Structure 1
Amino acid sequence: METFDYVIVGAGTAGCVLASRLTEDGRTTVLLLEAGGSDRSIWIQMPIGYGRTFFDRRINWMYDTEPVEALGGRRSYWPRGKVIGGSGSINAMVYVRGQPHDFDDWRAAGNPGWGWDDVLPYFKKSEDFDRYSSHHGRGGPQHVTDITPHVHPVCHSFIDAAAALGFPPTSDFNGQHPEGVGIYHINTRGGWRASTANAFLHPARKRSCLKIQSKALATRIVLDGRRATGVEYLVNGRTVTAQARREVILSGGAINSPQLLMLSGIGDPAQLAALGIAPVVAAKAVGQNLQDHLAVSYFYKTRTATLNDILYPAIGKAMAGLRYMFDRAGPLSMSVNQSGGFVRSDASQKTVNLQLYFSPVSYTKTPLSERKLLNPDPFSAFLLSHNPCRPTSRGYITLASADPTQHPVIQPNYLATQHDIDDVLAGNRLLRRLAATRPLADIITEEIVPGVQIDGDAALLDDFRNRADTVYHPTSTCMMGRDIDTAVVDHRLRVHGVQGLRVIDASIFPNITSGNTNAPTVMVAEKGAAMAIEDAREIT
């Protein structure tokens, strides 16, 4: 049995940051466990290759939710990274921190040290941004690229149309003016994906104090009474136990972290006992408070060329491939989510309530989760999407079985509140207004989906229920807060009721942030690592 200072479960976005930061002193020993394998695939490292990883069981957990009543009983497909780098190895790389008030709300909910002014230094610490700004970092491990000079020209028609409706342009969603419309920053470096695996973990591999064990499925947290002392895991068909002198840290994300807690007897006692799991800590909040962003796309044919005209023809694919091969540039070096915005649907909104996406490409032949990014429609078109920023509906994760190899039950419970329905209705109307506003209106020849025959709030809400899907941002199932009855971890990310155990990943968000969740997960890992180091110093 091997012993380490820390055992980290999950080499995803957060786990890679933690493994790097905790071993920087060269003395602290860390075992990093990852259920998946290597991220050394061209389809992972080439930015637009993420379209190929959506249905690859070798690197993807490929979860499905339970039927969702508000979506007409449809299930939602949830790809999650089962690979070094986790979901940060298969995502669209959009770098969005969230709105400052998101984090002030975290602090107001009883979590001192998590307001915007508190977390900004940790965002900056991780960052190596293209250009200098007092709101950004330079020289950090993870590169952030400003793709403004390289986006497809049709993106500017969207920005100009939004400006005509009174939505201010912004050059930086992560800067002094995060509200408005503009171009998204992305996590790339030199045309390659800049995941936390590439930015943090791989440079740390040479440290003798760090051991990385891939294809290792954590099955149980080893507890001595109410103290975590190690992790049991499966590797090569055998069960192995690793001991942790200081702490066990869960970084499996919003699905796997609560699952492992429950498998270890930390959860709702009645639910655990029903599956034959002996309850150790009564923690009914484990797996609760699940939050996610739910989006819909409208598709428009254009009289102006879009990325479809480049990526659909065989010759276009070949030219794009050659450009990427020789220069690491062109459409294959970026996400298709090139522009968008954070806006208030009307003047009564105190804060932004809608996120917009404008992609100069379209896929009308396949559902959202099945789109092949290198096989768009054979005509000029784009897609325009929206999702509510701060949904108030709450779902849950629970165990389907005491068998750790079985997927848990996922119920997102979308559109369970009138607040969320109202935001959806406002977003639907806004997409139509944008499409009807010049200069965007000047280039549109037809609304393909849903089509102008679908009109009015009732019909468009039905369309949303029929077509909307996840934007792959699950959070909050191990929520941070004061009380074990309503939260799973305290403000220092320590699991209530258990010593020597933390959760550090997106599952601890008290509420989902207004935007893509990868960047705030990196921040949580940076801050969580600093907390773990501080606490270890106090003990010694």
Structure 2
Amino acid sequence: MPLVDVARVQAQKYDYIIVGGGVHSSKLRLSFDQATGLLLASRLSRDPSIFVLVLEAGKPNFDDPKIMLPGQMYAQFGDPDYDWAFTTTVQEHAGDTRKPWMRGKSLGGSTAMNMMSWIVPPKGDIDDWEKLGNDGWNWDIFNRHLQNVASFTVDPPTSEAWKYDSGTMKIWDRNWGKGEVQLIHSRKVLPTQVTIHETFKAAGIPIAKDPNGGNPSGCFFGLSTVDPGTNERSYAAVGFYRLYENRPNYHVLTDAHVRKILLSGDEPNIVATGARFGHTGNVYEVTASKEVILCAGALKSPQILELSGIGNPKILSSHGIPVRVGLEGVGENVQEHVMLGVTNELREDAPGQTFDILRDPAAAAEQMRLLLEEKKGLFTVNVNNLAFLPLSTVSARADKLIADERAKINAGAYPPEFADQYDFMLQRIEQGGCGFEVIGFPGTFPSFFFTLSPEPGKRHLTLCAANNYLFSRGSIHIMSADPTQDPTFNPRYLEHDIDAQILVDMVKFLRKVFARAPLADLVSREVNPGQKFQTDEELLAWVKKETQSVFHTVGSLAMLPRSKNGVVDTSLRVYGTKNLRVADISIVPLHFSGQSLSTAYTIAEVASRIILASGEE
């Protein structure tokens, strides 16, 4: 039913309480990580006898142009009405800087503010989850459930990206999927984006054979989460709530800040009975007869567990929180993707527009008019100029980097709880896994990403390098027992030297791409990092300062055996409990290449089947 008020919540008896109404997913290719709660609620509420409550901390922000219009995505970043605007701790291995961790603050979470890029991870990366001890969590299961999440509409009359993926016509030339998330090719492709794509091919990068079927290796124009009928953002609040809001058993309360999960009994049979939450200055409790399910994302779900007495006993005791379940893995194993960008200025006589003109208010207003009145212009252009590559393509010293890391693993240099992860990650790289991504961007990136201040009136092209196979591991933990205080976010970026060295080599690779025709014919000079950065030492210092998150945080409540610091089992139940589950991207045990959006949705789809099957037992 339409959004409920707290009085309605207090009067209703619920079967399931879901904490979080988003999917936390990212920008650029960024997808952040928060869309699972609404999808899960839409599946559970199909049975009219089952009452489901979603407690969402953000605002509804329905029908807001900053959300719905694809070209307005940047308008949300840093705006407290749309962005939680978290920051990390000082990163001692990444330039002693704090990094922004932006996350969506609207119903639908980060699906309401990401850059709408839809990438399906490589098959082998998902299969690694099963190898880590999670029976049934493999590519075949993942792909089967993925088809229930999204629908791809072939739109060749209005989609220019179609033309340039000529090597994948057999892959794109079909409608697939039957889900609520709408996917299309970009309807507008700029000449500069075409040039980038052609330069990728000139550099020997093949067209990806099956970018949405488990093999994104190569270059292609990716899909975007845009409704082909309205040309508006397709996201969790539309697809998994507004579509079903008239169900009388589907309730959503916004501005509801969960303070803790209510628990009864003792381990191993602890029962989650409900949740305590703050709303408009007051504190309330609500109960669930069947289950409580955490979908608050990789950044906030660990905090809620710790506040509820589930976590590392030393951390809980230090904040005066009674220990209900001792799980040292809560808030650990945090993994991310990171990126940086190399920017070149275009020649004065180079053809084509870039996003640079949007810095001129008059030009931006004209582009907005074109979008609203004619569905044309720059605001219909998506950032989906992609290449997923093996390390051997982006690094001239790939063999040495791999050999050095293999020697460390064989010598037992890493904590035993991470040994298998590191081994599988290195196996991916050794076998040519496409964990190293290049994103073409027609313009300069906004200042909250990189420190470049572009010269007025100039046009630019940026190639971003993303390292999706990081060895560094971070943590997220409470700072106090106060639920209104954010936890500490410490990803420990570039703590492992191989992570930084790969980024150095990726900068060199991007420079080679810029120096190759036809792209070389468009650019005049490099403005970021600039020619003063040449030696490995100079580039390493720049990399550490400039590296930013891609907002694909996972792993903080890992699905692993308890003996390996796991927090949830393969049924997504928190160890030591009978009916408390986690169904968001925090459960990912080992990161994957690509944007996190499709994976977050698919986890929720799988979770819904597990939960419904459990309820029938």
TM-score grouping bracket, smaller chain normalisation: over 0.9
**CA drift at 1:316:** 2.8
What are the equivalent positions in structure 2 for 1:403-482 lying under 5 Å apart? 403-482=482-561
Runs of 5+ consecutive residues of structure 2 not aligned to the other structure: 1-9, 23-34, 155-170, 394-398, 400-429
Which residue of structure 1 lines up, in the alignment, with residue 80 of structure 2?
A: 57
Matched, 1:180 2:261: no
Matched, 1:244 2:292: no
Cα distance in 1 for partners of 2:66, 2:452 equals 15
Cα distance in 2 for partners of 1:98, 1:78 equals 22
State the SS of the aligned residue for 1:231.
strand
Which residue of structure 2 lines up, in the alignment, with residue 18 of structure 1?
A: 40
**CA drift at 1:333:** 3.2
Cα distance in 2 for partners of 1:218, 1:475 equals 21
Cα distance in 2 for partners of 1:105, 1:531 equals 20
Which residue of structure 1 lines up, in the alignment, with residue 202 of structure 2?
A: 164
Cα distance in 2 for partners of 1:463, 1:490 equals 41
**2:326 counterpart (273, 282, 287):** 282
Cα distance in 2 for partners of 1:184, 1:411 equals 31
**CA drift at 1:315:** 4.2
Which residue of structure 1 lines up, in the alignment, with residue 336 of structure 2?
A: 292
Which residue of structure 2 lines up, in the alignment, with residue 354 of structure 1?
A: 436
Matched, 1:208 2:264: no
Cα distance in 2 for partners of 1:371, 1:215 equals 36
Which residue of structure 2 lines up, in the alignment, with residue 368 of structure 1?
A: 449
**CA drift at 1:433:** 1.2
Structure 2: which amino acid aligns with 1:121? R
State the SS of the aligned residue for 2:47.
coil
**CA drift at 1:430:** 1.2
Cα distance in 1 for partners of 2:209, 2:150 equals 18
**CA drift at 1:179:** 0.8
State the SS of the aligned residue for 2:305.
helix
What are the equivalent positions in structure 2 for 1:224-235 lying under 5 Å apart? 224-225=264-265, 226-235=270-279
Cα distance in 1 for partners of 2:307, 2:360 equals 50
Which residue of structure 1 lines up, in the alignment, with residue 238 of structure 2?
A: 198
Q: Please report the TM-score for the alignment, with normalisation by the length of structure 1.
A: 0.94
**CA drift at 1:137:** 3.0
Cα distance in 1 for partners of 2:69, 2:450 equals 19
Asked whether the equivalents of residues 129 and 145 of structure 1 are also in contact (C-alpha less than 8 Å), the reply is: yes
Residues 347-356 or 89-98, more deviating? 347-356
Matched, 1:511 2:590: yes
Which residue of structure 1 lines up, in the alignment, with residue 385 of structure 2?
A: 339
Residues 481-490 or 89-98, more deviating? 481-490
Cα distance in 1 for partners of 2:380, 2:45 equals 32
Cα distance in 2 for partners of 1:371, 1:58 equals 26
**2:188 counterpart (138, 146, 150):** 150
Percentage identity across paired residues of the two chains: 29
Alpha carbons of 1:484 and 1:536: their partners in 2 closer, same or farther (altered >3 Å)? farther
Residues 425-434 or 164-173, more deviating? 164-173
1:79-121 per-residue CA deviation (whole Å, 9 max, x = no partner) reads 1112201011111111112111110111111111211111001
Matched, 1:492 2:514: no
1:288-312 per-residue CA deviation (whole Å, 9 max, x = no partner) reads 0111111111111112233236424
Structure 2: which amino acid aligns with 1:216? A
Asked whether the equivalents of residues 191 and 334 of structure 1 are also in contact (C-alpha less than 8 Å), the reply is: no
Cα distance in 1 for partners of 2:36, 2:368 equals 32
Asked whether the equivalents of residues 45 and 52 of structure 2 are also in contact (C-alpha less than 8 Å), the reply is: yes
1:261-303 per-residue CA deviation (whole Å, 9 max, x = no partner) reads 0000000111111101111100110000111111111111112
Which residue of structure 2 lines up, in the alignment, with residue 323 of structure 1?
A: 370
State the SS of the aligned residue for 1:239.
strand
Residues 209-218 or 48-57, more deviating? 48-57
Which residue of structure 1 lines up, in the alignment, with residue 100 of structure 2?
A: 77
Which residue of structure 2 lines up, in the alignment, with residue 103 of structure 1?
A: 126
1:461-481 per-residue CA deviation (whole Å, 9 max, x = no partner) reads 111111111111111101111
Which residue of structure 1 lines up, in the alignment, with residue 52 of structure 2?
A: 30
**CA drift at 1:177:** 4.2
Asked whether the equivalents of residues 308 and 377 of structure 1 are also in contact (C-alpha less than 8 Å), the reply is: no
Asked whether the equivalents of residues 471 and 498 of structure 2 are also in contact (C-alpha less than 8 Å), the reply is: yes
State the SS of the aligned residue for 2:37.
helix
Matched, 1:534 2:613: yes
Cα distance in 2 for partners of 1:313, 1:502 equals 49
State the SS of the aligned residue for 2:616.
helix
Residues 214-223 or 35-44, more deviating? 35-44
Cα distance in 2 for partners of 1:34, 1:352 equals 36
Structure 1: which amino acid aligns with 2:577? V
Cα distance in 2 for partners of 1:485, 1:74 equals 31
Asked whether the equivalents of residues 124 and 136 of structure 1 are also in contact (C-alpha less than 8 Å), the reply is: no
State the SS of the aligned residue for 1:150.
coil
**CA drift at 1:191:** 1.5
Over the aligned positions, Cα root-mean-square deviation in angstroms equals 2.1
Structure 1: which amino acid aligns with 2:582? V
Pairs aligned (count)? 533
Residues 455-464 or 341-350, more deviating? 341-350
